Amino acid sequence: MGGTFDPIHIGHLACAEQVRDLFELDAVVFMPAGDPWMKRGRSITAAEDRFAMVKAAVQDNPFFDASRLEIDRAGETYTVDTLRALRAHYPDNVELYFISGADAMHRILEWRDATELARLARLVAVSRPGYEIDDARRRYMLTHAAIRHVSVIEATALAVSSTDLREKVRSGRSIRYLVPRVVSDYVENHGLYRGGA
Ligand code: ATP
Ligand code: MG
């Protein structure tokens, strides 16, 4: 599961756990992006901070892990490069899935090498409040020549976003229960998202 994770929150974790359960996955690897090209235009929290929060957030789930692959790779982050690296790393009998929220999957056809992406991994798009997958989009995703293996999952949805969490911290409001305790502690101890206040 890729993302900026700025910061990781219960929406990410609940979504990953439901997909893991549904598809009986052996593991979910959270992969914080190094330089998310789709998010140019706003300043992203240092990769080491985002990674530290992901690592802390996944530690109590034996199926979850955090990877440094994207943050250690120089240059821009492209999911297809990551999946190529994972494909080369794991034995052939290991099946890869790429998990993303519906909003991100809607943009899959804008991604570089979408066809190869779909060949490297099964794509799982998870419903997310505010980004419902309507019938037209579902049909579009399912029939697009490049994308043959998109599973569209209606998970129990949580309307949490990192954008909203950053805004809450900036204006001095509580994010308790919206992120794991270790994450709210990290945010507080490192003074993240204060906007210089
Ligand atoms: P931002 O508001 O900064 O974009 P975000 O909450 O969307 O942050 P991302 O790091 O952009 O978090 O998301 C990583 C992945 O997790 C994306 O595929 C996104 O669609 C998915 N995702 C994020 N929040 C949720 C949620 N509440 N429910 C389901 N999927 C989610
Ligand atoms: Mg997002």
Q: What pLDDT score was predicted for residue 75?
A: 75
- Give, for all 197 residues of the chain, the pLDDT tens digit: 999 999 999 999 999 999 999 999 999 999 999 865 556 666 788 999 999 999 999 999 999 999 999 999 877 778 889 999 999 999 999 999 999 988 787 676 566 677 888 889 998 989 888 776 666 666 666 666 555 567 888 888 889 999 999 999 999 999 999 999 999 999 999 999 997 54
Q: What pLDDT score was predicted for residue 41?
A: 65
Q: What pLDDT score was predicted for residue 151?
A: 82
Q: Which atom of ligand 1 is nearest to the CA of 158?
A: 27
Pocket test for ligand 1, best of 54, 128, 133, 164 (most atoms within 8 A of CB): 128
Angle between helices 181-189 and 47-58 (to 10 degrees): 150
Q: Is the CB of 104 under 6 A from ligand 1?
A: yes
Q: Is the CB of 82 under 6 A from ligand 1?
A: no
Ligand with minimal distance to 124 CA: 1
Ligand with minimal distance to 105 CA: 1
Distance 101 CA to ligand 2 centre (A): 8
pLDDT tens per residue across span 37-52: 556 666 788 999 999 9
Q: Which atom of ligand 1 is nearest to the CA of 131?
A: 20
Distance 93 CA to ligand 1 centre (A): 29
Q: What HEC string does 65-110 produce?
A: EECCHHHHCCCCCCHHHHHHHHHHHCCCCCCCEEEEEHHHHHCHHH
Q: What pLDDT score was predicted for residue 91?
A: 95
Helix (H, G, I), strand (E, B) or coil at 2: strand
Residue 146 in tokens: 């490049």
Query: Of the CATH numbers 1.10.3720.10, 3.40.50.300, 3.40.50.620, 3.40.50.720, which one belongs to the domain with range 2-189?
Result: 3.40.50.620
Distance 35 CA to ligand 2 centre (A): 14
Q: Which atom of ligand 1 is nearest to the CA of 10?
A: 27
pTM here is: 0.91
In terms of C-beta density within 10 A (0-12 exposed, 13-18 middle, 19 or more buried), how is residue 72 classed?
Answer: exposed
Q: What pLDDT score was predicted for residue 127?
A: 83
